[in-house]
């Protein structure tokens, strides 16, 4: 028996799909999204009989909020997903809907030892208007959580789960070291739409900021900056010029999080770029940031940017990431 616990938790990345075609503009190539229609919050997440189950808010008949049901997908490795039939279909769907299923949890409870019962709540619903055509909503990449001692503090850290590495090319598409990078930019050329970047540099640099521009246009008037603020000791994602930001006046924004250098005085960033998202793991995973972006398909230029001074001991490796849908 799987019990559903209805709660009011809300939150996720935003992206979903059309028919069986997963080669679409903005379609994430290594982030789960349903074949068709609108998705929102991941809800019931569980592991049972060596299978991972992902349930999620789902509209089975459109790309807008409505007909709230629970979609269902399964995976053996948290990387390759197979979409299953709708698990909880809105009562009266395709006609007069009288009951819908909102955000909640799921557990495997064969004997109902938890004693959960049905409980109706007034829902809180996030409505979005992102420019994704026939699909809407996606998850972030699955993460492994652990406690590590960083400095003198026990810290909760996040890292991509281990099986994820199976879709990353083992040989770097681009690799370089710079003893020092003067103020200005260095064009790294073009990349795939789906990449993983390992970037490290010295915290003793004289620059005020250092960043990598991803999904950039040829002239970099459109770009997403992922970098580090040496003055405030913060990692950031700047999507103010990331592509299509016209659909909401708050979308063109900058996200920041605190991040200290490691014991060797280095700042380490692992950056995951998909067709419409950027995820950053700072240090050992003590700081993470996630943002959606909507660049044009030809925005595949990359450059390093040092602002206000020199950035020292820069090391960068860029790896191509395969699609899990093809």
pLDDT at position 10:
31
Q: Which CATH number does 168-320 carry?
A: 2.60.120.560
Record the tokens describing residue 198, joined without a space: 């390992």
pLDDT tops 90 at residue 131? no
pLDDT at position 114:
64
Residue 213 and residue 302 in contact, taking contact as beta carbons nearer than 8 Å? yes
pLDDT tops 80 at residue 126? no
The architecture CATH gives domain 2-136: 5 Propeller (2.115)
pLDDT tops 50 at residue 8? no
Rounded-to-10 torsion of CA 94, 99, 101, 102: 120
Residue 207 DSSP SS3: coil
pLDDT at position 233:
98
Of the candidates 41, 229, 274, 298, the residue annotated as catalytic is: 41
The answer to which of 1-5, 51-55, 165-169 has the lowest mean pLDDT is 1-5
Angle at 234 between CA 229 and CA 235, to 5 degrees: 90
pLDDT at position 164:
85
pLDDT at position 119:
61
pLDDT tops 60 at residue 291? yes
CB atoms within 10 A of CB 264: 10
Contacts of 185 (CB under 8 A, 6+ apart): 213, 220, 303, 304, 305, 306
Residues 198 and 158: their CA atoms lie apart, in Å, by 16
pLDDT at position 282:
98
pLDDT at position 17:
36
Identify whether 41 is a catalytic site residue. Answer: yes
Side-chain half-sphere of 86: how many Cα atoms within 13 Å?
A: 20
Mean pLDDT comparison of 33-47, 91-105, 109-123, highest-scoring range = 33-47
2-136 and 168-320: identical CATH topology: no
pLDDT tops 60 at residue 15? no
Domain borders along the chain are 2-136, 168-320
Q: In the structure, what pLDDT confidence band is assigned to residue 120 with cuts at 50, 70 and 90? A: low
Residues 230 and 208: their CA atoms lie apart, in Å, by 5
State what percent of residues in the chain have pLDDT above 90: 72
pLDDT at position 1:
43
* Backbone dihedral angles phi then psi of residue 162, each to the nearest 5 degrees: -60, -40
* Length of the chain (residues): 326
Of 223, 289, 213, give the one whose Cα is nearest residue 252. Answer: 223
Residues 207 and 6: their CA atoms lie apart, in Å, by 49
Rounded-to-10 torsion of CA 267, 223, 137, 102: 60
pLDDT at position 287:
98
Average pLDDT over residues 175-203: 96
Question: What per-residue string of b and e applies to 66-79 under the rule 16 or more CB within 10 Å gives b?
Answer: bbbbbbbbebeebb
pLDDT tops 90 at residue 210? yes
Cα–Cα distances in angstroms (integers) from residue 127 to residues 25, 38, 66, 72, 206, in the given order: 22, 11, 10, 21, 43
Calculate the CA 73 to chain-centre distance. 18
Q: In the structure, what pLDDT confidence band is assigned to residue 78 with cuts at 50, 70 and 90? A: very high
Q: In the structure, what pLDDT confidence band is assigned to residue 92 with cuts at 50, 70 and 90? A: confident
Question: pLDDT (tens digit, 9 = 90+) per residue, 214-225?
Answer: 999 999 999 999
């Amino acid at each position: 028996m799987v019990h559903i616990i209805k709660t009011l938790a809300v939150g996720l990345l935003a992206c979903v799909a059309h028919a069986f075609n997963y080669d679409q503009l903005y379609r994430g190539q290594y982030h789960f999204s349903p074949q068709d229609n609108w998705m929102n919050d991941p809800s019931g997440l569980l592991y049972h009989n060596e299978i991972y189950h992902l349930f999620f808010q789902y509209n089975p008949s459109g790309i807008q909020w409505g007909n709230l049901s629970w979609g269902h997908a399964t995976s053996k490795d948290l990387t390759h997903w197979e979409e299953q039939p709708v698990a909880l279909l809105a009562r009266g769907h395709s006609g007069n809907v009288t009951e819908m299923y909102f955000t909640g949890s799921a557990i495997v409870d064969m004997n109902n030892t938890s004693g959960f019962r049905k409980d109706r709540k007034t829902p809180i619903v996030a409505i979005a208007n992102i420019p994704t055509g026939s699909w809407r909503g996606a998850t972030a990449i699955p993460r492994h959580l652990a406690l590590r001692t960083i400095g003198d503090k026990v810290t909760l850290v996040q890292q991509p789960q281990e099986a994820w590495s199976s879709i990353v090319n083992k040989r770097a598409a681009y690799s370089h070291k710079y003893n020092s990078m003067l103020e200005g930019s260095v064009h790294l050329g073009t990349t795939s739409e789906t990449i993983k970047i390992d970037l490290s540099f010295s915290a003793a640099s004289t620059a005020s900021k250092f960043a990598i521009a991803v999904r950039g246009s040829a002239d970099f008037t459109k770009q997403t900056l992922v970098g580090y603020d040496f003055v405030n000791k913060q990692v950031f994602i700047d999507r103010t010029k990331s592509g299509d930001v016209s659909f909401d006046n708050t979308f063109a924004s900058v996200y920041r999080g605190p991040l200290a250098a490691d014991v060797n005085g280095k700042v380490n960033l692992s950056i995951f770029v998909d067709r419409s998202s950027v995820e950053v793991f700072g240090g050992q995973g003590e700081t993470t940031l996630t943002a959606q972006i909507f660049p044009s398909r030809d925005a595949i230029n990359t450059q390093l940017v040092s602002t206000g001074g020199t950035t020292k001991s820069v090391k960068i490796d860029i790896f191509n990431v395969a699609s899990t849908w093809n």
